Structure 1
Amino acid sequence: ATATEDMMFPAYGAQTVHMPFGSVYTSLQTGVMDVAENSINVYLVNKHYEVAPVLNITEHEANNALVFVSDKLWQSLSAEQKGWVQAAANEISTKEPQKAFDLERTAADKLKKMGVKIVDNVDKKSFT
């Protein structure tokens, strides 16, 4: 969990647990954790549906892919190289949001076909 999530989830009445991501599946399986938080696609590809067969679509957070470059690396690049990185970042910023939505939709469709219960009418008023 991030520092933001450490503040956000307790406000919803949840307790955050820090652990290596690889331990989430087993922790759900053994009851160490009751709930995990991830994108639909992460839930699918990591097979969390096997041990947590109900997926709640809470829309409590929006995640986007970002391009991060350290100042040290950025300063080491030539003007031409900086232009390449900036052009790639600009292209990503225009295409990534829709691609992310498409990926989530495709993952949800696969999960539905597998019999996972997807709850999308979550009472979000309780989040406030």
Structure 2
Amino acid sequence: MPSQDPPEIVGKALECFDHADTCKPEQRLSPSGSLDIPRDETDEYCNGGCYEQTQVVLTCVNQILSNFEFHNKATIDDIKQTITDGCSNTDKRGDFNVAEHMAASNSHANIGVLANMGSLLIFVTLCGLLSMLSLIMV
């Protein structure tokens, strides 16, 4: 198979967005990365063809360009998680705000990074103390 230039690959990934033809125009996932699904249309979206077509679009894009980044800097996983949460039977049902979801997941990621850095700092401090104790005891 001949290799393709990056613009050709991106062009093919963008063609995937044409698959969501069963969606209302305002609910259609686009390269912008936003999902405009009003809360009162959640059941229609989550139980209908638009949900399924959106999944087809995301799968198509992922198969062509797995590191695709939407205009709002969302990843394919960000969009999938937003849809999963928005269609869940939790307090997040009906919330399809991708930007808020990205901010929440980034804050959780930052907490994990800070926890790992704290553990590393404690480890380094303990190693330093043990080294000093070994010098004193000699």
Measured against the shorter chain, the TM-score band is under 0.3
In proportion to residue count, which structure has more helix?
2
TM-score, scaled relative to structure 1: 0.27
- Using the size of structure 2 for normalisation, the TM-score is 0.25
Relative contact order (alpha carbons < 8 A, sep ≥ 6): 1 or 2 greater? 1
Please identify which structure carries the higher strand content.
1
